[in-house]
Chains A and B, each alone.
Chain A
Amino acid sequence: MDLRNTWDQWPDANGRFGEFGGRYVAETLMPLILDLEAEYRKAKEDPAFKAEMDDLWTHYVGRPSPLYFAERLTEHFGGAKIYFKRDELNHTGAHKINNCLGQVLLAKRMGKTRIIAETGAGQHGVATATICARFGLECVVFMGETDVERQKPNVFRMKLLGAKIVPVSSGTGTLKDAMNEALRDWVTNVDDTFYCIGTAAGPHPYPELVRDFQSVIGKEARAQIQEREGRLPDAVMACIGGGSNAIGLFHPFLEDESVRLIGVEAAGHGIETGEHAAALNGGLPGILHGNKTYLLQTDDGQIVDAHSISAGLDYPGIGPEHAFLRDTGRAEYLSCTDQEALDAFQLCTRLEGIIPALEPSHALARVGEVVKELGPDGLLILNMCGRGDKDVFSVAKALGVDM
């Protein structure tokens, strides 16, 4: 099949991106995700839904986020011009709120009164708690015990916002277990509860709707770069946890085949050590959390724990659309170790006066090589998808600084 000019036709009616995606959920949830899909189709056609969303994006979230020319970083590498899409300036400090706002507005349309979410770094939890506070909805956030420990500032923030935090000790107490626990809550509380998934993964229609809500990033960036430079970029780059900020940036460029789409996975201690979170570079296709996608797993199909210094990337899977884009060759996926991310974190802070979150620091760590490949006439956009305030404690610890 000729995929050109059909990149944005996916998923198909069964929620598939090629062979990936689908709806691998327990029967209890099937009627719920079918309802959600039907409601989403209606909302998409409803001008009032879009109007409410746009209004809150502008006045509450602070969109559009700027496209910033990172002049000193560009000079430092001596290659293509580097632009940052500054989603770290959003209310709550990351791209996560773009999606939360959309999902909570959907939940309201569906008459749901209780919102549940999983969180790793706590950014999605904070964004969900924020929107729930704004709309007066009950909010319960599932968070792995390990992450509760390493993301303390965000835990307190969520509590201030009125959310209930459920530390998850089952399994290995990280993001995947938080997601299991959220799914268990959802099968238990089907009537009043809406599951607000934080990344472009999970059963259909989540990968599609999260992508659509996050695509505001790419749509703005595409218009902004054309205004600034009079042309499309040569490459766009983003870090990959579950893949929501990346797909949000990539999707509006999918049909512009001259634009390279580059995702960066977390290589942790190095892919060869087995301690990493690089599902595409070090995993195999499998079925987990409602979708078929690449997963870190054993030969026997048991899920292996991810490792990354960044809690937001510490997940053994990846959204199904990325699995599809990688297998079809439309997007490239690189990786970056904990140490490389820490170095990039410091470099960006010193040169640009922008403290990046550890997640986009992974993408930053690969920018040098890419801009050299593109050469001085090239243009690159990097998604600065989160600010680093939440990470200063863990970075201090990693650098051996006693605060």
Chain B
Amino acid sequence: MPTSRITDTFAKASGESRAVLVSYLMAGDPDLETSFAAMCALRDNGADIIELGAPFTDPMADGASIQKAGLRALAHKTTLADTLALAARFREDDKTTPVIIMGYANPVFRMGFAKFAEAAHEAGVDGTILVDLPPEEDGELRDAYAPYDLSVIRLATPTTHEARMQKVAEGASGFLYFVAVTGVTGAGSADPQAIAGNIEMAKRVSGLPVCVGFGVKTGDQAAEMAKIADGVVVGSAFVDHAEKAHESGEFADAPRGMGALAKELSEAIRTVAKQ
């Protein structure tokens, strides 16, 4: 049961009174082989959940770092099928670490929601975050996922007031992804104090674990967020290692750098107790 991988992960961390670390990387950046090594390095260094970016030409909610990562992946023709194959390869040896695919609706729509759901299930994927499919528009996706228990992970933001949160929570599963800043990925960081109330409300209304992301780059920032949320999502800071590897041509530096960052972040998270 794929959802249980997500549930188990949060239950285990909760038993240790700590938040989970969700780490993002772009599939195929700088190439698929390196992405596979990076997924393993992230897991080996304390990442609890892996978010695998599916590249898209027009990522309207992403900042420069993830935009460029997507274009690098697309430059050598990484397809949605490649992203799924990468997840499947990881799943061969890893039966416990949840893998979430994060991307935009159009590639999934083109493949067909039903076909995608079946393929994701077979690849051992646990859920998806499709940024431009708000609750109003993800009905077809939810229907397609129903036979498989794939999680529809939704976004909540500082603009999500309580009535809206109810709409967001309805039909959401796995966990809720709280976008800490009004802005794009990689932008300025949020003040944990300012969003603590929103996160409380999100937990109460949804009954789901709430992970916080956008703008978290360092161990200190992760530790602050880990006090108020069930999980911390880090993206652009990992992707920057892929960019450096792409530029230097030393692709092996990417998994190394990402692993070291995952270690720093997961240790920082473990220094604080979840409230």
Contacts and interface: CB of A to CB of B under 8 A. Distances in A.
Contacts of B187: 188
B110 A299 contact: yes
A27 B107 contact: no
Give 9 nearest A-B pairs by CB, closest first.
Answer: A301-B110, A301-B107, A188-B183, A27-B155, A28-B157, A301-B106, A26-B61, A287-B105, A183-B60
A322 to B, nearest CB: 19
A243 to B, nearest CB: 19
Nearest to B79: A300
Contacts of B109: 286-287, 292, 301
15 contacts: A26-B61, A28-B179, A31-B161, A32-B159, A184-B61, A187-B182, A187-B183, A188-B183, A284-B110, A287-B105, A290-B132, A300-B80, A301-B80, A301-B109, A302-B74
Contacts of B131: 26
A190 B79 CA distance: 33
Contacts of B137: 22-24
B217 interface: no
Contacts of A170: 64, 67
Contacts of B168: 27
A154 interface: no
Contacts of A90: none
A114 B80 CA distance: 38
Interface in A170-198: 170-171, 176-177, 180, 183-184, 187-190
B96 interface: no
Contact of B107 (A24, A30, A289, A300): A300
B182 A301 contact: no
Contacts of B55: 302
Interface of A: 14, 22-32, 170-171, 176-177, 180, 183-184, 187-190, 284, 286-290, 292, 295, 297, 299-303
Among B81, B109, B136, B187, chain A packs the most CB atoms within 10 A around the CB of B136
B134 interface: yes
B179 to A, nearest CB: 6
Given A30-B159, A184-B63, A188-B182, 12 more contacts: A27-B155, A30-B164, A171-B58, A184-B61, A184-B183, A188-B184, A190-B182, A286-B110, A295-B106, A302-B57, A302-B107, A303-B58
Contacts of B125: none
Interface of B: 55-64, 67, 71, 74, 79-81, 104-111, 131-134, 136-137, 154-161, 164, 168, 179, 182-184, 187
Nearest to B161: A31
B160 A187 contact: no
Contact of B61 (A31, A187, A292, A303): A187
B184 A184 contact: yes
A31 B164 contact: yes
A27 B106 contact: no
Contacts of B132: 24-26, 287, 290
Determine the main DSSP class of A at the interface with B. Answer: mixed
Given A27-B160, A301-B111, A176 B105 contact: no
Contacts of B62: 184
Contacts of B110: 284, 286, 297, 299-301
Contact of B60 (A30, A32, A289): A289
Contact of B108 (A14, A289, A295, A301): A301
A31 B160 contact: yes
A48 to B, nearest CB: 29
A189 B105 CA distance: 24
A369 to B, nearest CB: 34
B153 to A, nearest CB: 11
Given A23-B134, A26-B131, A297-B106, A288 B80 contact: no
Contacts of B108: 301
Contacts of A188: 182-184, 187
Among B60, B80, B108, B109, chain A packs the most CB atoms within 10 A around the CB of B60
Contacts of B64: 170
Nearest to B62: A184
A288 B184 contact: no
Nearest to B82: A300
Contacts of B57: 171, 302-303
Nearest to A302: B57
A23 to B, nearest CB: 5
A170 B60 CA distance: 11
Contacts of B133: 24
A175 to B, nearest CB: 12
Contacts of A295: 106
A274 to B, nearest CB: 16
A25 B61 CA distance: 9
Among A177, A187, A299, A300, chain B packs the most CB atoms within 10 A around the CB of A300
Nearest to B77: A300
Nearest to B167: A30
Contacts of B105: 24, 287
Contacts of B60: 26, 180, 183-184, 289
Given A184-B184, A188-B184, A30 B134 contact: yes
A170 B133 CA distance: 23
B11 to A, nearest CB: 26
Contacts of A28: 61, 155, 157-159, 179, 182
A176 B58 contact: yes
A284 B67 CA distance: 24
B157 A27 contact: yes
Nearest to B179: A28
A14 B160 contact: no
Given A23-B134, A26-B61, A28-B179, A187 B184 contact: yes
Nearest to B183: A188
Contacts of B59: 180
B169 to A, nearest CB: 12
A171 B161 CA distance: 33
Nearest to A172: B57
